[in-house]
Amino acid sequence: MHATETFARYATEFRQARLDDEVLHHAKRAVIDWHAALFPGLDVAPMPQLRALLADDLGRGRARLPDGRLAPARAAALLNGTAAHAAEVDDSFRDAMYHPGAATVAAALAIAQERGASGLDFLRGVVLGYEVSTRIGVTMGRAHYRHWHNTGTVGTFGAAASAAGLLGLHGAPFAHALATAATFAAGLQQAFRMDSMSKPLHAGRAAEGGVLAAQLAAQGVTGSLDVLDGEAGFGRAMSDGPDWSAVGDTLGRDFHIKRLTFKNHIGCGHTFAAIDGALELARRHGLRAADIRRVHVATYGPALDIACYEDPRTENEARFSMRFVVATALVHGSVRLAAYTPERLADADVRAMMARITAVVDPEIDAAFPGRRSARVEIETNDGQRHAWLQPDRKGDPELPLSDAELDDKFLELAAPVIGAERAQALLRNIWSLDKADGRQGLTA
């Protein structure tokens, strides 16, 4: 049995299975966090350009955008998937090195709105997309992450699975949706090694491609069922020929959606352990920025490969600068949206702190990646004291999760400035009760 067929068999079983309350609770958390990422990304480049380009598609269709306009499902998935990744606030599944929510929830929402699905069916589509795609990401492993941006590649499968589930596909048509999605999967890490607007489009195109693959399968379009595990398939072409034999062993028993990471800072998640460690040292020892002579960060390789900008001059570069975000945390006490304003980018105190920060790869920490995302931070003060802290996990990881209340606060902080406090509160209530909602109720912002 090919991997696509393994997932298709699970999709058939999933149609009849009752999801327990804990899984549904975590699905709602994922949808809340997706909206928290969506709203601040609505006007981040390339969203204005993308909306202008898609103007002819807006005002028709049955999916609905956050501004109330109608759109066809594929256009809505593209726009919402891009926005949900644009502000770098979206969730991640650590073991797959992947942000599953941006594309998966965007695709599920577009199809659910188009079909007038219930809130419960929408949540089930979200769960199915997470469970299928994260397993593909885990199987592809670190070798895939060397060059590919998993949110664009693996995200296409999350979108396809969620859309296919909501379209009622199971068995062979579900497998064919995944097979076609594999040929759409793309997104290069080099796209964000220079200042660029391309990265959020990886998530948007993944959402759009997954929706299209599912829609095509619903029309009888077939794909190569061995496209994941075949001789010239996804695994060999884009990784190191991984073993797919156990890809479905824990489906239906171990729900990955229960082990998501929700960001507690804004920016590249690879920097968060270092931010947490620096803030913990400052808190424990009552340190002010003026007290600090030197900061040394030791972490895993991809954190420095991706958060690589030494002298960031734009918002995009700053989000991917280890030195900038750690300096911002120590100078201002947090790394939120305000960290990336032009004033903060030019902040003399932050720039001075950046000059005192060094960062290297720690072999032991690197060996634990991707299962752990750790950093060791050492601060030397002006009076010669040295303080060190190992941050084994990031705040927001499964080991240090955001509580429901903390997640609500994150959502309100990011949504209210865009849609207003009253609408944000109403949307939050709707999401927490989605499993009780019929039709379009609760499925619009």
Instruction: Assign 193 a pLDDT band (cuts: 50, 70, 90).
Output: confident
* Dihedral over alpha carbons 407, 412, 415, 418 (to 10 degrees): -170
User: Across 4-80, where does the E strand assignment appear?
Assistant: 63-64, 70-71
- Exposure on the CB side of residue 200, measured as CA atoms within 13 A: 34
Superfamily of domain 269-391: 2-methylcitrate dehydratase PrpD (3.30.1330.120)
Helical residues (DSSP H) of 87-187, grouped into ranges? 101-115, 119-145, 150-166, 172-184
> pTM of whole model > 0.75?
yes
Q: What is the pLDDT of residues 26-84, one digit of tens each?
A: 999 999 999 999 999 999 999 999 999 999 999 999 999 999 999 999 999 999 999 99
Pairwise CA distance, residues 208 & 156, whole Å: 8
- Sole residue written with tokens 């941050």: 391
Residue boundaries of the structural domains of the chain: 3-264+403-436, 269-391
3-state SS string for 144-164: HHCCECHHHHHHHHHHHHHHH
- 390, amino acid identity: L
Q: What is the mean pLDDT of the chain?
A: 96
Cis link prior to 401 (omega < 30° from 0)? no
Pairwise CA distance, residues 126 & 109, whole Å: 9
Class of domain 3-264+403-436: mainly alpha
- Mean pLDDT (whole number) for 12-19: 95
- Sole residue written with tokens 């995302």: 373
* Dihedral over alpha carbons 355, 356, 360, 362 (to 10 degrees): -160
Tell me the backbone φ, ψ of residue 338, rounded to 5 degrees. -65, -20
Write out the two tokens for 224. Answer: 């190569």
Q: What is the pLDDT of residues 118-156, one digit of tens each?
A: 999 999 999 999 999 999 999 999 999 999 999 999 999
Tell me the backbone φ, ψ of residue 187, rounded to 5 degrees. 135, 105
Residues 6+ apart with CB under 8 A from 362: 298, 299, 300, 376
- Quote the distance between the C-alpha of residue 99 and its chain's center: 3
Pairwise CA distance, residues 211 & 163, whole Å: 6
